[in-house]
Homo-oligomer: A and B are copies of this chain.
Amino acid sequence: MSLELQCPVPQFDFDHINMGHGSGGILTHKLLKSGVFDVLKNPLLDQQHDGAILELKGKIAISTDSYVVSPIFFPGGNIGDLAINGTVNDLAMCGASARYLTLSFILEEGLAMTEFKDVLMSIRQAADQSGVQIVTGDTKVVQKGKGDKIFINTTGVGELHPTADIRHQRVEHGDVILLSGPIAAHGVAIMSLREGLEFETTVCSDTQSLKAPVLALLDSLGQDVHFLRDATRGGLASVLNELSEITVKGIHIHQKDLAIAEEVSGACEMLGLDPLYVANEGVFVAVVKAHRAEEALKVLQSFEACHSASIIGEIIADHPGKVVMKSKIGGSRVVNFLQGEQLPRIC
């Protein structure tokens, strides 16, 4: 990813965020004018109204997420690009092409302006990379100790792909399950940082936009794509468990076909984490009609973001409501829902 910044560098008047920046008065006004509006500049945002007027065609998808990741900067990204990619990806999982995003900050008093600026720049870059516009927003400030640097909410709207019909009700016995990339990178990147662990190779978050590969998959397979879901909080195991529970169908996966980077696997061992439950921010699961699976795999692998995509299993009639994994050494085990607390504030 290029580090050249196309957007104007904001010229904030202050070193740190203070309560006045959230008062709705002259400081709020100055903060927006001296930085936010410049960085995020586009004709819709420039209206500076409390909302934006959009034109969208056909059916519309909407998705929201609040991001509270800690720490806010991590190898491979920060809370800013995470907040853009995450919501763009949630829309992709509905079969929609993200077009417009809203952006809402809850800033903690005392946040360094340099950090806020870096987050803003990443937001702009990630938005540009996904071809989305930030059209309206909000900024609130809470007292020191009542927040944690920055929380961001993004809500996205997009146009549904004309052939998309992504619903768990469409999942059938015999459908094939694809995984778009290697698992557990995001969670391991965050946890390594928190624990102060250093490895020979720094594990980077996989935060990235999945918009292009998903739209290409829908272009090629159309309604033969039955279900899509990104494997974020709770990891791959949670996505598969939710799917098996809601469909009351069995899911069979093969451990040998799950891609995982060697350094991520090693870090998981050191941290005592099962990579199946570790959050990803750029990996998704696709359930497709069996006879289109190889074609789907080729489409995904043609994208940098999904170059190590693989077929990992199938929907089965046995074990309704359960996820069963065949291990590398041949045995089978049930993969349960994540119990209790595992990785807080991972996104």
Q: What is the interface of chain A, defined by CB distance below 8 A to chain B?
A: 18-20, 22-29, 47-56, 59-68, 70, 90-91, 93-94, 96, 100, 102-106, 135-138, 140-143, 145-148, 151, 153, 155, 157, 160, 166-168, 229-230, 232-234, 238, 242, 246, 277, 279, 337-345
Q: Which residues of B contact A59 (CB under 8 A)?
A: 53-55
With a 10 A CB-CB cut-off, give which of A24, A68, A142, A337 has the most chain B CB atoms: A24
**Given A147-B148, A167-B47, A246-B48, does the pair A20, B55 have CB atoms closer than 8 Å?**
no
Q: Which residues of B contact A47 (CB under 8 A)?
A: 167
Q: Which residues of B contact A167 (CB under 8 A)?
A: 47, 49
Q: Which residue of B lies closest to A30 (CB)?
A: B337
**Given A142-B68, A153-B153, A155-B102, does the pair A340, B20 have CB atoms closer than 8 Å?**
yes
Contact A54 B50 (CB under 8 A): no
* A164 CB to nearest chain B CB (Å): 9
Q: A27–B59 Cα gap in the complex (Å)?
A: 33
Q: Which residue of B lies closest to A22 (CB)?
A: B344
Q: Which residues of B contact A148 (CB under 8 A)?
A: 142, 146-147
Q: A99–B65 Cα gap in the complex (Å)?
A: 19
Copies of this chain, whole number: 2
Q: A64–B258 Cα gap in the complex (Å)?
A: 39
Q: Which residues of B contact A340 (CB under 8 A)?
A: 20, 23, 25-27
Q: Which residues of B contact A94 (CB under 8 A)?
A: 49-53
Contact A153 B279 (CB under 8 A): no
Q: A62–B53 Cα gap in the complex (Å)?
A: 7
* A297 CB to nearest chain B CB (Å): 23
With a 10 A CB-CB cut-off, give which of A23, A29, A141, A160 has the most chain B CB atoms: A23
Q: A157–B59 Cα gap in the complex (Å)?
A: 13
* A246 CB to nearest chain B CB (Å): 7
Q: Which residue of B lies closest to A338 (CB)?
A: B25
Q: A249–B343 Cα gap in the complex (Å)?
A: 54
Q: Which residues of B contact A28 (CB under 8 A)?
A: 233-234
Contact A339 B25 (CB under 8 A): yes
* A26 CB to nearest chain B CB (Å): 4
Q: A90–B135 Cα gap in the complex (Å)?
A: 14
Contact A65 B138 (CB under 8 A): yes
A–B complex contacts, Cβ < 8 Å, 9 sampled: A23-B340, A24-B279, A25-B277, A27-B340, A50-B63, A51-B94, A56-B60, A64-B104, A106-B151
* A280 CB to nearest chain B CB (Å): 11
Q: Which residues of B contact A67 (CB under 8 A)?
A: 140
Q: A143–B341 Cα gap in the complex (Å)?
A: 12
Contact A234 B23 (CB under 8 A): yes
* A20 CB to nearest chain B CB (Å): 4
Q: Which residue of B lies closest to A164 (CB)?
A: B53
Q: Which residue of B lies closest to A341 (CB)?
A: B20
Contact B62 A341 (CB under 8 A): no
Contact A60 B65 (CB under 8 A): no
Q: Which residues of B contact A19 (CB under 8 A)?
A: 341, 344
* A58 CB to nearest chain B CB (Å): 9
Contact A54 B64 (CB under 8 A): no
Q: Which residues of B contact A93 (CB under 8 A)?
A: 49-51
Q: Which residues of B contact A70 (CB under 8 A)?
A: 142, 146
Q: Which residues of B contact A61 (CB under 8 A)?
A: 51-54
